[in-house]
Amino acid sequence: MTSLTWPGAALDRGRLLRLLQEYGVYAALVVLFAVAVGLDSSFLSTGNIRVQLYQVAPTLLVALGMSLVIGTEGIDLSVGATIALAASVVPLYAGYGLFAALAMALLLGAATGAVGGAMVAFARVQPIVATLSLMIGVRGLAEIVNGNSAKPITQSGLLDLGSRTLGGVPDMAWIAGVCALLTGLLVRRTTFGRQLVAIGDNRQASRLSGLPVRRVLITVYVLSGVLAALAGVLIVGHGAEADPANQGLNMELDAITAVVVGGTPLSGGRVRVLGTVAGALFMQLITAVLTQHNVHTSYTQIVEAAIICFAVYASQERGTR
């Protein structure tokens, strides 16, 4: 009797975990949105929706890069500092126009990612150690470049980038959406995407089969750095201020949360771009609901920690089956 019951129970539990990982974030997003509207009908107002899109766009950009890195069984803790570094150079080049400021920020983001990727690919430093050291060093560099003080931004091109809308939707959200689409195509439709997933699934086997492991690893960290730098420029444009001491703080944790909640396992070998988008929206919605009902930030962090623990548990439980 017992031998017939337990296998069935294990199967049901495994199927439940699989369903949770595949579709849980979408169901949770719908339920949370319904709760938010039920608690406060003004949540559906155009102004509020626009505010949420402004706030989620930078997080989504960083999370997209993070999902690629995590797909290779890595992690990038330097993205928050990369945002700060991008913010620090914007005032220096803003006088030459939007293109110059954007190009310099993205170049520095790519350089930061390349350093992290090279440490992982060539020196075989653990990703968490390599990017942790970068996080500390790059944050310090950003504050030195900026002179340890916040600087106002007055150039119209940058301010327009952070505040303008198209069809009622912030340009920032359009940019993040296009980046999400391109990231999805990169993962699903290109040889690079398949190599990325294969390396995350089994790096040693990928190396033995002749895949360009080092090149792929460096590329994903470069992409992560570029997307973080782009987020930094958008944050500066939206806030009309460059403040490297505070901008980008804890952004790496927000990005990791969105990726994990979206169903991309920390063990690598899989990238769920649409899930990352849903994960970023879900986490933004939780923050918005709790904030609008005057729940202290400390409790918000506890809720986020609990969600991360559950998402990681579901991922690991599935991986053992």
- Cβ-contact 82, 109 below 8 angstroms: yes
Q: CA 183 → CA 65, 119, 163, distances in Å?
A: 8, 24, 24
Per the CB < 8 A criterion, the answer to whether 85 and 115 are in contact is: no
Radius of gyration of the chain (CA): 20
Tell me whether residue 233 is in a domain: yes
Distance between CA atoms of residues 200 and 242, nearest Å = 36
CB atoms near residue 277 (< 10 Å): 25
Residue 125 counted as domain residue = yes
For 284-302, what is each residue's pLDDT tens digit?
998 888 888 888 877 877 8
Residue 33: exposure state from Cβ atoms within 10 A (0-12, 13-18, ≥19): middle
Percent of the chain at pLDDT above 70?
93
Cβ distance 231 to 129 under 8 Å? no
In a domain, 6, yes or no: no
* Domain annotation covers residue 26: no
The pLDDT tens digits of the residues spanning 31-86 come to: 989 988 888 888 889 999 999 999 999 999 999 999 999 999 999 999 999 999 99
What total of structural domains would you count in the chain? 1
Q: Three-state DSSP class for 33?
A: helix
Whether residue 164 lies inside any domain: the answer is yes
Contact in structure between 137 and 212 (CB atoms under 8 Å): no
Question: What residues form DSSP beta bridges with 152?
Answer: 241
Residue 202 Rama label (left phi>0; alpha psi -120 to 50; beta) = beta
**Global confidence as pTM:** 0.91
**What beta strand segments (E) does 198-296 contain?**
241-242
- The pLDDT of residue 237 is 93
| CATH code (residue 197) | 1.10.3470
- Residue 18 domain-assigned? no
Mean pLDDT, range 120-142, rounded to an integer: 94
What are the DSSP E strand ranges found in 94-228? Answer: 151-152, 165-166, 169-170
Domain range for residue 202?
A: 46-317
**Is residue 1 in a domain?**
no
